[in-house]
C-alpha cells in the first residue's frame, strides 16, 4: 500500500517530538524505503504515535459509544449515526488507511532493517506493536490485507482473521526468541515512547498480548491454546505497569487524539451514557467522579440514553456529565487493571475460581488506584460480588472507560457482557441487534479488486461465532 498525504497527523507527530528529533522525521510522506534518511530510531516513534493516534482517537470513541459508556449530546449530531448504527463504508475509511500507510508500514520498515543487522530490540518492539495493530484491525474487519500487505506496489489479497492471529502469534514467538544481548543490538532508549527501551517490559508486553489473543479462541475451541495459557499463568510474567503513550503537549496539534477531536475541535457532542453512569450511581462507585466531569449546568452526573439526544430540545452537552479526558491524557495499549482482568479471565476458564476471584479483586483495586482513589474505596464483596466471567468483563468494562473503549467493544462481542445495554432509540437494526464489525473501507472497495464482498455489520467476526 502506498503512503498517503495526511497533513494533520504529520503535524500531530511533529509537534510531539520537536524537542528531541530532527524535523525531517516529522514528514509522514517521507519514504521509509530510503535508509539514508530514516533510521529505526527515527521511524519507530512515528509508528508508535500513529498507532496511538488511531487507537486513542476514533477507535476509542467508537468502542465507547457502542458499549454505552458515551452518548451523543442533545443540540448536536456529529456522532448520531454511530448510535443509530447507520454506518457506510466511508466511516473509518481514513483510520484504516492511516494505519496501513503510517504505523504498519513504519513497523515493517523497522522490522526489515533491523532483522538484516541483528538489531533485535528494535525488531521485537516493532513486531509486537505491529502485531497489536494488526490484531485490532482483524477484530474490526475479520478479513484484512496481511500476508501480501506492506510490499510496495503489490495489491494485497485479504486474509481471514484466524490466519492473521495464528501468523501474528508465530511472529511474536520468533521475535522474542532472539538474543537481546548481542553486539549488534542497540538500546532503543528514548525512541521507545512506551517503555524507554526496557526489553523486560516488552517481554511482559508480549506475554500479555499473547494471553489476550489466546482468549479470543475460547468461543471457537477453548482447547486451541489451553496449554499455552496454562504455561503463561504458571510463569506469571505479565505487565505490571501501564503500556501507554504519553508524549502529548498542551498544544492543539499535540493533544491526546480523543481530546483533540472530540473535546476541543468538535466540542459539545460527547456526554456520559445513561447505562454507564446509572450503574455507577446505583453502586455509589467513587470512580464516577474520576471518569466524568460533572455537568456545567447544575454540577450533576447525568447521562443520556443511546439515541435519545433529539428528545431534549432545550438541553445541550452542558446539562450532562462529560468524559474526563484531558489534552495530555495518555493513550493506553494496556492498563495495569486490564492486564489483571485478562489474567482473572484466564484463571476463571483454565484455573480455579478462588484464584480468579482474588485477581478480579486486585484488578478492581488497580482500577481505583489508577484514578487516584484508595484501593479500599469500594467494598468489593458488598458492591461487586464475584460471579465468574460475567463479573470480570463487567468490571473490565468500567475500568476501560476513557482508556480503551475499542477493547471494551471486543469484549462485549466475544462474551455478551455486559448484558444490560439498552436498545438505541434510533437503531436502524432489528430488535436488539448490534454491530459486530465495520464495513470494508471505501478506499479499498474502490482501489483493491481483492476486497471481499460487503458483510453486514451484525455478522460476527471469526472468534465470536
So what's the pLDDT on residue 31?
Answer: 45
Average pLDDT for 300-315: 97
3-class secondary-structure state, position 80: helix
Architecture of domain 41-249+402-456: Alpha Horseshoe (1.25)
As given in the structure block, the three cell numbers for residue 14 are: 511533529
Report, as an integer, the average pLDDT of 340-355.
98
**Interatomic CA distance for residues 316 and 252, integer angstroms:** 24
Which range has the worst mean pLDDT, 22-36, 299-313, 330-344, 402-416? Answer: 22-36
pLDDT surpassing 60 at residue 16 = no
Instruction: Answer whether residue 33 shows pLDDT above 50.
Output: no
Mean pLDDT, the chain, whole residue set: 93
Q: What is the pLDDT of residues 95-112, one digit of tens each?
A: 999 999 999 999 999 999
Average pLDDT over residues 353-374: 98
DSSP conformational letter for 304: B
What is the per-residue pLDDT for 37?
A: 64
Q: 375-423: per-residue pLDDT in tens?
A: 999 999 999 999 999 999 999 999 999 999 999 999 999 999 999 999 9
pLDDT at residue number 152: 85
Is 10 a residue whose pLDDT tops 60? Answer: no
C-alpha 106/C-alpha 50 separation (Å) is 9
DSSP assignment of 407-451: HHHHHHHHH--S--PPPPTT--SSTT----S-PPPHHHHHH-TTP
The DSSP secondary-structure symbol of 73 reads P
Farthest CA pair distance, the chain: 68
Instruction: Give DSSP secondary structure letters for 168-210.
Output: HHHHHHHHHTS-TTSTTPPP-GGG-TTTTT-HHHHHHHHHHHH
pLDDT at 252: 82
Model pLDDT, residue 265: 94
- Is pTM, for the whole model, over 0.85? yes
Amino acid at each position: 500500500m502506498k503512503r498517503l498525504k495526511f497533513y494533520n497527523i504529520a503535524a500531530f507527530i511533529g509537534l510531539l517530538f520537536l524537542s528531541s528529533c530532527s524535523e525531517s522525521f516529522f514528514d509522514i510522506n517521507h519514504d521509509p524505503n530510503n535508509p539514508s534518511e530514516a533510521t529505526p530510531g527515527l521511524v519507530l516513534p512515528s509508528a508508535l504515535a500513529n498507532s496511538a493516534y488511531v487507537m486513542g482517537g476514533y477507535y476509542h470513541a467508537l468502542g465507547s459509544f457502542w458499549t454505552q459508556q458515551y452518548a451523543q449530546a442533545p443540540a448536536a449530531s456529529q456522532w448520531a449515526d454511530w448510535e443509530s448504527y447507520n454506518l457506510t463504508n466511508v466511516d473509518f475509511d481514513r483510520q484504516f488507511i492511516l494505519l496501513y500507510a503510517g504505523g504498519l508500514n513504519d513497523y515493517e520498515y523497522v522490522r526489515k532493517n533491523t532483522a538484516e543487522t541483528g538489531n533485535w530490540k528494535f525488531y521485537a518492539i516493532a513486531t509486537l506493536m505491529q502485531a497489536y495493530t494488526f490484531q485490532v484491525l482483524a477484530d474490526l474487519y475479520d478479513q484484512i490485507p496481511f500476508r501480501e500487505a506492506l510490499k510496495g506496489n503489490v495489491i494485497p489479497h485479504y486474509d481471514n482473521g484466524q490466519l492473521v492471529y495464528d501468523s501474528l502469534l508465530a511472529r511474536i514467538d520468533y521475535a522474542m526468541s532472539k538474543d537481546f544481548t548481542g553486539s549488534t543490538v542497540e538500546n532503543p532508549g528514548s525512541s521507545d515512547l512506551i517503555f524507554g527501551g526496557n526489553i523486560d517490559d516488552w517481554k511482559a508486553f508480549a506475554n500479555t498480548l499473547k494471553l489476550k489473543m489466546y482468549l479470543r479462541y475460547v468461543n471457537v475451541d477453548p482447547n486451541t491454546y489451553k496449554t499455552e495459557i496454562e504455561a503463561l499463568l504458571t510463569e506469571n510474567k505479565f505487565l505490571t505497569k501501564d503500556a501507554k503513550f504519553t508524549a502529548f503537549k498542551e498544544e492543539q496539534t499535540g493533544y491526546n487524539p480523543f481530546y483533540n477531536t472530540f473535546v476541543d475541535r468538535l466540542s459539545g457532542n460527547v456526554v456520559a451514557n445513561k447505562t454507564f453512569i446509572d450503574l455507577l450511581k446505583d453502586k455509589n462507585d467513587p470512580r464516577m467522579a474520576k471518569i466524568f466531569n460533572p455537568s456545567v449546568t447544575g454540577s450533576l452526573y447525568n447521562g443520556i440514553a443511546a439515541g435519545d439526544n433529539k428528545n431534549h430540545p432545550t438541553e445541550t452537552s452542558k446539562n450532562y456529565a462529560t468524559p474526563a479526558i484531558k489534552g495530555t491524557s495518555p493513550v493506553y495499549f494496556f492498563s495495569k487493571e486490564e492486564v489483571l482482568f485478562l489474567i482473572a479471565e484466564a484463571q476463571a476458564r483454565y484455573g480455579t475460581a478462588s484464584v480468579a476471584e482474588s485477581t478480579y479483586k486486585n484488578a478492581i483495586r488497580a482500577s481505583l488506584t489508577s484514578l487516584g482513589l484508595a484501593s479500599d474505596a469500594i467494598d468489593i464483596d458488598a458492591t461487586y460480588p464475584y460471579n465468574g466471567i460475567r463479573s470480570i468483563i463487567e468490571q473490565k468494562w468500567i475500568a476501560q472507560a476513557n482508556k480503551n473503549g475499542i477493547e471494551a467493544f471486543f469484549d462485549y462481542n466475544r462474551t455478551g457482557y455486559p448484558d444490560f445495554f439498552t436498545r438505541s432509540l434510533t437503531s436502524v437494526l432489528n430488535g436488539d441487534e448490534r454491530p459486530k464489525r465495520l464495513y470494508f473501507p471505501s478506499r479499498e472497495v474502490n482501489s483493491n479488486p481483492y476486497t471481499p464482498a460487503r458483510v453486514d455489520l451484525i455478522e460476527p467476526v471469526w472468534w465470536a461465532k
